[in-house]
């Protein structure tokens, strides 16, 4: 079992719709969770971090964490073509100060 799992996609949504990206992790003791966005050939860019159960909103982005289910999600409201990118879920495992990444989900927003 992979430590962090994501559906590779691509996930296609129409412009203006809500994009829902999901991630599960294996280490129940994980404390910190992150979503990075990566455009093709560019650096991963941190867009959301979440540390406690529930929802965290920042603009059009909402991160959701459910530690009991070991599940993290990212919702993107009013999706725009510029949101088309690979979204990487990353988890800071309890036993180290390093991030473990999922393989990423490709999001395509069609205008």
Partner 1 sequence: EAGVTQFPSHSVIEKGQTVTLRCDPISGHDNLYWYRRVMGKEIKFLLHFVKESKQDESGMPNNRFLAERTGGTYSTLKVQPAELEDSGVYFCASSQAGDGSKLFFGEGSRLTVL
Is the Cα torsion angle 23, 10, 2, 41 positive or negative in sign? negative
Q: How far is the CB of 17 from partner 1 (least distance, A)?
A: 27
- 62 vs 104 by CB, closer to partner 1: 104
Is 74 a binding residue for partner 1 by CB under 8 A? The answer is: no
- What is the rounded CA–CA span in Å between residue 50 and residue 110? 28
- What is the rounded CA–CA span in Å between residue 101 and residue 55? 21
Is 82 a binding residue for partner 1 by CB under 8 A? The answer is: no
- What is the rounded CA–CA span in Å between residue 11 and residue 23? 14
Residue from 13, 26, 70, 101 touching partner 1 (CB under 8 A): that is: 101
Q: How far is the CB of 39 from partner 1 (least distance, A)?
A: 10
How many residues are listed for the chain in this entry? 111
Q: How far is the CB of 92 from partner 1 (least distance, A)?
A: 4
- 51 vs 66 by CB, closer to partner 1: 51
- What is the rounded CA–CA span in Å between residue 66 and residue 71? 5
Which residues contribute to the site for partner 1 (CB under 8 A)?
2, 4, 32, 34, 36, 41-46, 49, 88, 92, 96-104
């Amino acid at each position: 079992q992979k430590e962090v799992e994501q559906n590779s996609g691509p996930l296609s949504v129409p412009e203006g719709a809500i994009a829902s990206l999901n991630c599960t992790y294996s280490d129940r003791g994980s404390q910190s969770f992150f979503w990075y966005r990566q455009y093709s050939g560019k650096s991963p860019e941190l867009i959301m971090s979440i540390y406690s159960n529930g929802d965290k909103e920042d603009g059009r982005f909402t991160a959701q964490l459910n530690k009991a289910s070991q599940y993290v999600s990212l919702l993107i409201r009013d999706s725009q073509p510029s949101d088309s990118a690979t979204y990487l879920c990353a988890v800071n495992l309890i036993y180290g100060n390093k991030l473990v990444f999922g393989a990423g989900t490709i999001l395509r927003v069609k205008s």
